[in-house]
């Protein structure tokens, strides 16, 4: 039965990887393989010799001697545990996405666009690089990429020039998301999973992440596409009336998101609680500023539909990228199925026994740095979310262990090496219709040298902690 579940997982993964070829959205195979995996576990529960307890990060003693009802109880409790942990991540993301959409409703990001006055291609490259690096740490790399490419489309009309900037923005956004607990979904997973804390995450990863951005941008600034001046492009929105609350909502929304780690530190509550508080505060001001009725939901469908045309909250909720949320649900719960059977636990032990190269001693456990680097490279081919989800079940190191921070860096930045390797890359590919092989030829090598530079910096700087 285990073999069948692994085959289902591999086939589902393959479908996710080649979604652009088979024209099937990746959320579909993710949800299907999640449901089938857990169904097979339920049907074959008596045939499994071991069970992994996520709460204690170890195998259940004497699982094979338990009766059918006891095994079913373990399965139900484990399924509920993983659903709860996954829901924490999804609710957190829903809150963050809604706040960003509210900011956009008030055209808050036009404030950022107004700061860019230069026509120098090289200066614009660096401006967008640092904007992507720091903005992604605040509003996550996916959202930062969407925002900055949207601004690019208003600044540069020539798509052949614009896609070069988009490619470098992907690198900068992924690098910036790695050192912030709310900058990348994989880092958020590690943070919510109590594997890393905000202070140590910044201390370990800021310099490696910065180098991961600086090195490719330094090389790119000498390349032909970024030489000279931009032509006088027409700003389509130059005559469009702006909301007088644009700047206020930008600072209020970003401030609310940034306050989440502080809320968690003070209250010790899960991050999604702080994000819901931030969303509530932002929504109050959004409703007041829009002069609409203060109502986030209504039992009267006609009243609700009418209100949706005027409410920034309803408008923002309608623009949430729900397919991404469902994809995360499917892939995280599918990986949880493999973890529960002890497959990932056994795989981790095999890796540590068969790959002793470049190891470091961590609490008496031999963990290969090469394995983590390969995880980063693998995240360019396979989505980094399931790879990090797998690592959570593979390793049992303590909170803020160097291993978790290296995983956060590798998974967060490694995906830049292929355009399908990260959510930022996928959304940029869709917005600008960037060809896979164009990116592979023009941008991938820049992402690679940045990734290796940051990895080398991490291996050096971790000795200082």
Position 425 pLDDT exceeds 80: yes
438 domain-assigned = yes
Band (pLDDT 50/70/90 cuts) for residue 457 is very high
Q: What percent of the chain has pLDDT over 90?
A: 25
What is the pLDDT, as a whole number, of residue 354?
Answer: 60
Average pLDDT over residues 242-253: 80
**465 vs 247, more confident:** 247
CA dist 114 and 16 (Å) reads 39
What is the pLDDT, as a whole number, of residue 360?
Answer: 46
Rank 118-127, 147-156, 258-267, 319-328 by mean pLDDT and report only the highest.
Answer: 118-127
Band (pLDDT 50/70/90 cuts) for residue 350 is low
In the predicted model, what is the mean pLDDT of the chain?
81
269 domain-assigned = yes
Lowest pLDDT segment from 103-117, 277-291, 321-335: 103-117
CA dist 329 and 83 (Å) reads 8
Residue with tokens 């990228």: 321
**216 vs 355, more confident:** 216
Position 292 pLDDT exceeds 50: no
278 domain-assigned = yes
Band (pLDDT 50/70/90 cuts) for residue 35 is very high
- CB burial string 50-69: b at 16+ within 10 A, e below: bbbbbeeeeebeebeebeee
Q: How many domains does the chain have?
A: 1
343 domain-assigned = yes
6 domain-assigned = no
196 domain-assigned = yes
Position 243 pLDDT exceeds 90: no
CA dist 183 and 135 (Å) reads 9
17 domain-assigned = no
Q: What's the domain range around 141? A: 75-465
Average pLDDT over residues 190-200: 87
12 domain-assigned = no
Band (pLDDT 50/70/90 cuts) for residue 295 is very low
**361 vs 91, more confident:** 91
Band (pLDDT 50/70/90 cuts) for residue 369 is confident
Average pLDDT over residues 232-237: 50
Band (pLDDT 50/70/90 cuts) for residue 140 is confident
With the CA atoms of 301, 305, 308 and 310 taken in that order, what torsion angle do they form, in degrees rounded to the nearest 10? -120
CA dist 122 and 86 (Å) reads 42
**175 vs 465, more confident:** 175
């Amino acid at each position: 039965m285990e073999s069948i579940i692994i085959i289902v997982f591999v086939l589902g993964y393959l479908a996710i990887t080649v979604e652009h070829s088979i024209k099937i959205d990746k959320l579909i195979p993710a949800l299907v393989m999640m449901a089938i995996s857990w169904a097979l576990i339920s049907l074959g529960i008596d045939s499994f010799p071991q069970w992994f307890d996520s709460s204690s990060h170890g195998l259940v003693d004497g699982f094979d001697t338990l009766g059918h009802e006891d095994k079913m109880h373990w399965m139900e409790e484990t399924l509920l545990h993983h659903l709860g942990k996954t829901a924490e991540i999804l609710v957190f993301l829903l809150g963050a996405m809604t706040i960003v959409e509210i900011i956009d409703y008030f055209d808050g990001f036009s404030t950022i666009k107004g700061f860019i006055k230069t026509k120098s291609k090289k200066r614009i490259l660096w401006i967008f690089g640092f904007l992507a690096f720091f903005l992604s740490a605040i509003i996550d790399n996916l959202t930062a990429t969407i925002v900055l490419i949207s601004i690019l489309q208003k600044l540069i009309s020539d798509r052949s020039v614009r896609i070069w900037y988009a490619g470098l923005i992907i690198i900068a956004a992924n690098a910036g998301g790695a050192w912030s607990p709310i900058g990348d979904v994989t880092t958020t997973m590690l943070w919510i999973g109590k594997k890393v804390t905000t202070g140590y995450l910044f201390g370990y990863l800021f310099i490696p992440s910065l180098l991961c951005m600086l090195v490719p941008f330094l090389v790119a600034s000498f390349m032909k596409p970024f030489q000279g001046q931009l032509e006088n492009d027409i700003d389509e929105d130059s005559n469009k009336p702006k909301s007088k609350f644009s700047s206020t909502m930008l600072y209020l929304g970003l401030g609310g998101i940034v306050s989440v780690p502080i809320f968690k530190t003070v209250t010790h509550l899960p991050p999604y609680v702080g994000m819901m508080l931030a969303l509530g505060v932002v929504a109050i001001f959004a409703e007041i500023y829009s002069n609409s009725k203060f109502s986030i939901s209504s039992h009267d469908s006609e009243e609700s539909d009418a209100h949706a045309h005027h409410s920034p909250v309803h408008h923002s909720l309608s623009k949430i990228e729900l397919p991404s949320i469902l994809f995360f649900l499917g892939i995280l719960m599918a990986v949880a199925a493999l973890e529960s059977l002890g497959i990932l636990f056994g795989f981790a032990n095999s890796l540590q026994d068969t790959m002793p190269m470049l190891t470091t001693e961590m609490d008496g456990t031999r963990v290969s740095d090469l394995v983590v680097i390969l995880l980063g490279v693998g995240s360019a081919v396979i989505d980094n979310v399931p790879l990090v989800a797998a690592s959570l079940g593979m390793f049992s190191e303590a909170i803020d262990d160097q291993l978790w921070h290296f995983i956060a860096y590798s998974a967060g930045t490694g995906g830049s090496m292929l355009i399908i390797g990260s959510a930022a890359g996928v959304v940029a590919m869709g917005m600008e219709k960037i060809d896979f092989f164009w990116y592979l030829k023009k941008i991938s090598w820049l992402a690679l040298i940045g990734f290796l530079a940051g990895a080398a910096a991490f291996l050096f700087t971790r000795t200082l902690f």
